[in-house]
Amino acid sequence: MTRYFKRKWDESRGDEFDSWGASTWYFEVGEDAYPLKQIELYENGNRLKYHSDKAFDDYGGLGDQALDLEEFKRFEIEKEEFYSEWGKSNPKLEHQEILDLISGYLANNYSQRFGQALFNLGINEFVNKTDPAKANYQIRDIHGDSDAKILERIKKQLK
C-alpha cells in the first residue's frame, strides 16, 4: 500500500545551500517504506522534486533509505495533499525548456546581465527593430505571448 507523509525540518541543510533555510519534505512511499517520490520545500522558496526518472541532481536526491514508518506515523497525510504539492512543483515542459535555455545562455555568456540575456534571446524585443526615430521603436508587450512563441524566438536567436 502506498502511503504519504509531510514532515517539517527546522534545521538548515548544513551544506553550501544552507542559506535556503528550514524545509518541509513530502514523501510517497511504497510497501517497503522506500521513497517513490519526494518533494523538498525550502523557506527561501526553492522546490526540489525527485522520483524514479529524476533520482538526483546538483542539490540532492531521492531518499535511498526506508522511512521508519512508526516514527513517521504522526506525519501521514492524504494522497490528495501530496499530489496537490506535486503538481505545484512540476513546471510545465515549456517553462522548464525556457529556463534551461536561459540558464545555458547565461552560463556561456556569464559577463552579461540577466536583462541583456532577455533582449539577446529575443524574449523582450523592440516592435520596430530598425529605426529608433519612429514612434514604434519601443519594447513590445509580450504579456500575451504564448510560451511556444517565446521558445520559438529564443531558439531562433540561438541559431
pLDDT tens digits, 81-121: 999 999 886 666 778 888 889 989 999 999 999 989 988 99
Residue 90 has a pLDDT of 63
pLDDT at 52: 92
Q: Residues 49, 24: contact at Cβ < 8 Å?
A: no
**In the prediction, which pLDDT does 89 show?**
67
- pLDDT above 90 covers a percentage of the chain that reads 58
Q: Which amino acid is at 150?
A: I
Section 123-147 average pLDDT: 80
The answer to whether residue 26 scores a pLDDT higher than 70 is yes
pLDDT, residue 22, reads: 95
Domain boundaries, the chain: 3-88, 93-158
- Kindly report the backbone phi and psi dihedral angles of residue 80, in degrees, each rounded to the nearest multiple of 5, phi listed first: -60, -40
CA–CA gap between residue 120 and residue 1 (Å, rounded): 51
Give me the pLDDT at residue 127, please.
Answer: 77
